[in-house]
Amino acid sequence: MSTHKLYVIDDDEAVRRSLGLLLLSRGHAVQAFASGEAFLEGAALDEPGVAILDLRLDGLSGLQVFDALRQRASPLVVVFLSGHGDIPVAVQAVQDGAFGWLEKPCSDERLLETVEKALARAAEIATRLQARQAALALWQRLTPREMQVARLVAEGHANKRIAQLLAPIEPRTVETHRAHVFAKLALANSHELERFIREHGL
């Protein structure tokens, strides 16, 4: 059973019911919404999960819902459901960052295979988010001055040059800050520090 949320957004009650039953039969907990507006209001948009999103909805279209998710940098993995005439639009959505699309009517096998792959992507996103949160917690242990020194060390500057850039400050003081940075972040050298700052967007 998946530990990540799985949403079905479709204005056709029969589709919501059939998809929900199919996914439940495979151990997936599903939350269904009849409109994009209800989904945007009621779903956990800031948590990793998978949204199976119909392109054609009453009210907000699937693309408008997708744009709303992108604007708030939602970690949800989006799989579009599309009719035959919507395929070019669905392909464009994938190019814009959606995980994939399923053409209506879709076989159970293809749908389940796509959902499993999307859930695997959601798990990867969750792992990255957890790593970033842990990194931010460590970073916030630094003083403002230590953060300045850390960034300059990561850029490859020597202690003497950092002292000049942050003047008035002595190279020995820079060395002390540098040691505190490595200790607080549990890093061994400037290469690890550079990677830490780059990978976590600090």
This prediction's pTM: 0.77
Of the CATH numbers 3.40.710.10, 3.40.50.920, 3.40.50.2300, 3.40.1350.10, which one belongs to the domain with range 5-130?
Answer: 3.40.50.2300
How far is CA 196 from each of CA 95, 114, 120, 157, 177, rounded to the nearest angstrom?
29, 33, 25, 16, 17
Residue 120 CB-half CA count within 13 A: 6
Of the CATH numbers 3.40.50.1000, 1.10.3720.10, 1.10.10.10, 3.40.50.300, which one belongs to the domain with range 141-199?
Answer: 1.10.10.10
List pLDDT tens digits, range 147-197.
999 999 999 999 999 999 998 899 999 999 999 999 999 999 999 999 999
